[in-house]
Amino acid sequence: MNKKRLGLISFFVLLFSMNAFTQHISDLRLNEMLINNVDNYIDEYGRHVPWIEIFNSAYNNIDVAECYLTNDTTGLADGSGIKNWYRIPKGDPKTLLSQRSFVVFYMDNAPLYGTFHVNFDPCEEGSSNYVALISSNGRTLIDIFEFPEQLRTSTEHSYGYFDDGIKGVEDANGNTVSNKGFLDYFTPGSTNSVFMGLTKSEKVAQEDPYGLGLAFISMSVVFIALILIYLMLKLFARMNRGKAAKPAHGEVKTDAVVPKTKVIAEEFTGEELAAITMALHLHVSGQHDEESEVITIETPSAHYSPWSQKQLTFKQSPYKK
């Protein structure tokens, strides 16, 4: 095996090892729970049953398949409690949690109802006050969620972490205190950190009740935009004027300006201009018959305009006695 192939294999082995390390199952957290579900979250069958939420606190995908959920950790040390625990089935795409996402499991003791229905019920008599998440080897405790007895009777509050997945926070004295308690809002399948703050429009109305600041900012933006447009047009006009004044390569620039009327007069005679004008007038006003569309213009031998000759007029010349 050459060195190039050996280096390529080593690279893929290292990449796979890093990927396996980053996607660690220990980043999962039991995040929120409700037992006395009277009129709250329902399952896919329309039933109100106890539920618990799992949170992926990592910034990568983690599959919870083949892990165990239980409310009785007896036999955890030697792995003998596996037969009484609920093993999350493999093959369901919904068990793959994307980064910072959530999944809800129903604690209804009805595992035949689907992947997310476990085989125990915290409402049963003698049930413990905790739920544990155990890895697929049956010996490693990933997380344990303890709850007070009052949660069994509470219908107005769920129980969980105020900040998702964070078990302890520091108080004003620097002491670590629990971040778990009864939540003000039910948030199954979403973050527990619900902040009901003011909207942007409400903040503006509170800080500027008469709208003077908003009006000043709006008018300032409009006038600044108009000034910028004026300056741009002024700059373009100056640039175009400079290009027009600059002579082309090989062209001699003169200061004399030739009037347009003089140029036209040099190209056409007065008779030709009169004939063209009359033809255009008759064409636009529609006062002529169908013609051959051929105009024949002949230059007369006389130096005066033949249009002013009396014998060419339509009216009869007056008779003098």
- Say what the pLDDT of residue 5 is: 62
Which residues have CB under 8 Å from 317's CB, separation 6+?
A: 310, 311
Tokens matching residue 161 = 């972490």
For the stretch 274-312, pLDDT in tens is: 888 888 888 787 665 666 667 776 666 665 565 666 555
Per-residue pLDDT for 158 more than 50?
Answer: yes
Q: What is the rounded distance in angstroms from the CA atom of residue 29 to the CA atom of residue 141? A: 11
End-to-end CA distance of the chain: 135
- How do residues 168-205 score in pLDDT, each as one tens digit? 888 878 888 899 999 999 999 999 988 766 677 877 78
Token digits for 73?
């950790």
pLDDT reported for residue 174: 82
Question: What does the alpha-carbon distance between residue 12 and residue 23 come to, in Å, rounded to a whole number?
Answer: 17
Rounded alpha-carbon distances, angstroms, from residue 280 to 131, 274, 285, 291, 293: 99, 10, 9, 13, 12
Query: Rounded to the nearest 10 degrees, how much is the dihedral formed by the CA atoms of 187, 191, 195, 198?
Result: -100
Reference 101, options 157, 62, 147; nearest CA is: 62
Residues 215-264 have pLDDT tens digits of 889 999 999 999 999 999 999 888 888 776 666 555 555 555 555 555 55
Q: Which two tokens stand for residue 268?
A: 């056409």
Segment 131-150 shows an average pLDDT of 95
Q: Is 101 left (phi over 0), alpha (psi -120 to 50) or beta?
A: beta
Choose the CATH number for 15-157 among 2.70.98.90, 2.60.40.1260, 2.30.29.30, 3.90.120.10.
2.60.40.1260
CA dist 77 and 72 (Å) reads: 12
The helix or strand, by DSSP H or E, that contains position 130, with its residue range, turns out to be strand 130-134
**Average per-residue pLDDT in the chain?**
83
Vertex 150: Cα angle to 29 and 159 (nearest 5): 25
At 256, list the tokens.
Answer: 């004399």
